[in-house]
Amino acid sequence: MGQHLIPPLNFGLVEDRLYRSGQPNELNFPFLEKLGLKTVVFLAPEEPNQRFLNFVDDQDIRFFHLGYNTSANAWDPISEEVVLESLELMLDPHNYPLIVMCNLGRHRTGTVVGCLRKLQRWNLTSIFEEYRRYAGPKVRILSEQFIELFDTDLIRVPLNHPKWL
């Protein structure tokens, strides 16, 4: 019988070979294997699940835990420093296929993706619609405000950037 492929919570395609999600569990590993991931950008302040770290190690995936140096309070908004570091990784095609994630794939991930959309010159209505689709009823006004006020001039766009930018 064929193996079931189950995506992680709040999984989505952001751009070609760029994905977003919540932290996966063992049921999601076969799905993630199919993506051929090269890089994981983990935004949650908590330590990731050990089984997930073992999976990343077994698959020879580079793992960047950017949320560790932020507040351990899950309600605190993501820092500008973490967003800039995340975007730098996301704008380097050598890191692809890449997935950006936090615990539930809602707020921290949504903020980083929202800032990427702003860099892509999406209008705010479309950015917020995408953010709210993943946040569900748990929308955080501070996350939306962060995206709205985010200064895209702080981002160094590399010469060799993804084609979709």
As a whole number of angstroms, the distance between CA 83 and CA 112 comes to: 6
> What sign does the dihedral 59-64-69-73 (CA atoms) show?
negative
Mean pLDDT in residue range 17-39: 97
Q: Which residues contact 1 (CB under 8 A, 6 or more apart)?
A: none
Q: Is residue 161 part of a domain?
A: no
| Structural domains counted in the chain | 1
Is 15 a residue whose pLDDT tops 90? yes
**CATH number where 108 lies:** 3.90.190.10
Instruction: Say how many residues make up the chain.
Output: 165
Q: Is residue 99 part of a domain?
A: yes
Q: Which residues contact 47 (CB under 8 A, 6 or more apart)?
A: 65, 68
99 or 71: which leads in pLDDT: 99
Q: Is residue 5 part of a domain?
A: no
| Prediction pTM value | 0.93
Q: What is the pLDDT of residues 94-147, one digit of tens each?
A: 999 999 999 999 999 999 999 999 999 999 999 999 999 999 998 999 999 999
Mean pLDDT in residue range 15-21: 98
The secondary structure element, H or E, covering residue 31 is: helix 29-35
Q: Is residue 4 part of a domain?
A: no
Annotated catalytic residues are 102
Q: What is the pLDDT of residues 92-109, one digit of tens each?
A: 999 999 999 999 999 999
The predicted structure's pLDDT at residue 1: 52
Residue 51 lies in domain: 12-153
Q: Is residue 135 part of a domain?
A: yes
Q: Is residue 165 part of a domain?
A: no
Q: Is residue 162 part of a domain?
A: no
